[in-house]
Every structure is written in structure tokens, then in C-alpha cells.
Chain A
């Protein structure tokens, strides 16, 4: 475990560094993708949306983490505002970020689907990088396993769930790039992203040893993943229904 990296006077957790690196990369990829797909105009809009997304993501990620750690956060509500790169959860980030970006797009009259498609191509890149950071700091660790690729963590050989998440993000990206080449209808990439990342959450989260839990031991991220998957399928079904299929 390499939880901390020292850069001069600064001490940053490795997961924090990788999270920031992931965000920067995602922002860069988003700008490039938006430019390729919709020119300078879309690039500018995507950039504005990114900051709205980031703001919503931070709020959502901390709320999700805090509400599911209510025994601690309820007793010390100041933690909701604690300035640290930690105590964050991805489902909350995706939810809060998407909501914030959606509100901004509605308000400014930005084209929803082209921007969502661009974001779908950028998000997995950031997720993959951030997931590797979690492995370095030992967070989001898996349950013990005897499989040969298990990693040594906290005295046991465990599933490298962080790498599974990174791999899932890269696979998602590969599928999306392949889809994008075929010039599908607007919104297809975003729907595919929701379906694939939902499936990844549903499957990989099952191997995590430190999932945030709902009553009864239900893993919150799995419920979120299934909801994403269903939403994407429902979206695709609507497309069929509108064509009168």
C-alpha cells in the first residue's frame, strides 16, 4: 500500500492524486471529443458543463458517503463539509454530477444528447485512472480469494476489485469507441455508457469487502447499478416504441 506521496512540502494521498489526475484527463478527453463531434461550440459548452458536473459530483459523492455512514456523519455533521479528498462515493458523484450538468444544460439550452454522448466517452477514462489510485491507497478493497491474481492487503490475499473497476471502465470505453465509429443516433453512446457502467457496478461491487451497505447487507452501489442498467434499457425500448416497432 502506498497511501501517501510526498511532493515537496505537499502530502497527497495516492488515491487523491489519481482522482485529480483522472478528473483532469477526463476534462481533457471531453474537450477533445466534444470538439471532434460538434466543433468549437460544443467544446465550449462541454467545458462549462464539466465544471457544473464537478460541483454536483463533489456534493453528491459526499452526501452518498455520509448518508450511508450515518452513524458517524449523523453524530458529526461537520464531516459533510470536511475538506478532504476522501469520504466520497462514486454513485453519488455520477448522480449529483449528472443532475447538476443536466440543470445547467436545460437552463442554457445546450443540446443534451450530443453533450451526454461526449461525456460518455470521457468518463470511463477518468474512472479507470481513479480506480488505480484506489488500489494504491488500499481503499475499495475486495474480499479474500485464492485466485492467482489476488493482491496482498490487510493480511489477506484479496480480489483486486479496484483493478476490476478499472478494467470494466476500459472495456466500457472500448465498446463506446467501437459504437461511436458506427455513427449511431444521438443518445446511443450515453445509454450504452449507463448500461455498461451499471452492469459493472452490479457485478464488481459483489466482490468488495468494504461496500457501503443498506439495511440487510444490501450493497447500495449494486442497487444503483441495476437502476442504471434498467434506465438504459428503458431508454432503448422507448426508441423502439417511438418508431412503432
Chain B
């Protein structure tokens, strides 16, 4: 290493600086790429028909109807044609709370493209849930599940659990445990890119 003179070191430093900066500029993320979209995807997983109730990837999502905070009734099957994230959570669960802002950001970003979030609260009362949604500025629908029916149907043994459902009503990705923002964006962008 010491074979180089100071002058040669200076040249090397400059060369690395220039080449490195050019490389960074060249490989910077373009909008489509940073969204993680892949166009070949729709061919990759052609869901097969099966009437399995368990939330298995590439199987139809188990149907449920729950009451939202505003008193309206929401059925999963009514949302066919949209990409749905079913997130099972509770206000007392720290990782659930921690991932909510990222879910809200993804919701705001992709709502226009047909992305819906159903935040299925496990067993708490409407006042608790409403207060939480307000405090965290969450605008997607929170559904009340006092008898934990969805938790049972979706075999939720971990909170939070997230189920990504494609436009045709098939479960495409099951994520047990906190979602990272990049995984959330990756899955949602992917599913939105597919045809209904």
C-alpha cells in the first residue's frame, strides 16, 4: 500500500470520489423501481381454486362481516376488485401500535389505486378503539370483532397479523408479526399492479 506517493494517493481519492458519485447517480432509484413493482408478477402465481378456510397463500380469503366504528357493516366479499390488507390488532399490543403509522402512509398513498385496509380489532370495545384511531390519526376503517371471529377464522396466534388479499379475493401473503414499511410497500405495489 505504501508504494504510492502522496500525489498518487490524491489522484486515487479523486478518482474514487468521481467514479463513486457517478455510480450513485447512475443507480439511483427511479420511481417505478423504488415502488418495487414487477410486471411479470401476474403470471407468476395463478391462484388455484380451493375452498380451504385457513388463510393459506393462493387460497380464497375466509369471508367475514363485521361492524365498523361508524356502525356500518363491512363484508370482505364486497371489496372484491380491490387489494385488501386485513390487519388483526389490539390497542394493548406495542408492535401493533408501532406499525400503524406505516399502514396509514401506505393507505394514503395507494387508496386511489384501489387499496383498502381493514383493521380488525381483536375483542376491545368501540370507545377504546375509537380513541386510539383518533389519537393516531388513522383514517382507514377499524372493525370491531368482540368475539374474535376473524382471529379464529384466520388462525391468528400472533399479534399483529397481516393478510394481503388480491383483487380476486385470494390470500396472497400472510405476515405474522410486525410489518416493516418496505415489505408493506412491496406487497401492496405488487398486488395493485396485477389485473383484477
| A contact set with B: CB distance below 8 Å | 1, 3-4, 6, 11-13, 69, 71-73, 75-76, 79, 82-84, 86-87, 137-141, 143-144, 152-158, 202, 205-206, 209-211, 213, 216-219, 222-223, 226, 229-230, 233-234, 236-237, 239-241, 243, 245
Contacts and interface: CB of A to CB of B under 8 A. Distances in A.
A11 B176 CA distance: 9
B152 interface: no
Contact of B13 (A3, A69, A140, A237): A237
B2 A240 contact: yes
A202 B1 contact: no
24 contacts: A6-B157, A72-B181, A82-B94, A82-B97, A82-B98, A84-B178, A86-B178, A138-B183, A138-B186, A155-B38, A156-B41, A202-B24, A209-B186, A213-B29, A217-B28, A219-B28, A226-B20, A230-B13, A230-B17, A236-B9, A239-B2, A240-B2, A243-B2, A245-B5
Interface string B41-54: 11011000000000
Contact of A3 (B1, B10, B177): B177
A242 to B, nearest CB: 10
Contacts of B23: 202, 206, 222
B136 interface: yes
B146 interface: no
Contacts, number: 164
B27 A210 contact: no
Interface string B73-94: 0000000000000000000001
Question: What is the interface of chain A mostly: helix, strand, loop, or mixed?
Answer: mixed
B182 interface: yes
Contacts of A153: 186
Contact of A72 (B5, B105, B176): B105
A138 B6 CA distance: 45
Given A11-B158, A219-B27, A240-B4, A3 B176 contact: yes
A69 B6 contact: no
Interface string B12-25: 11001100110111
B169 to A, nearest CB: 16
Contacts of A137: 180, 183
B40 interface: yes
Most buried by B among A69, A154, A234: A154
B45 A4 contact: no
A234 B28 CA distance: 26
B183 to A, nearest CB: 6
Contacts of A72: 101-102, 104-105, 181
B167 interface: no
Given A86-B178, A141-B182, A236-B9, 9 more contacts: A69-B181, A139-B183, A141-B186, A143-B36, A144-B40, A206-B23, A219-B29, A222-B27, A233-B13
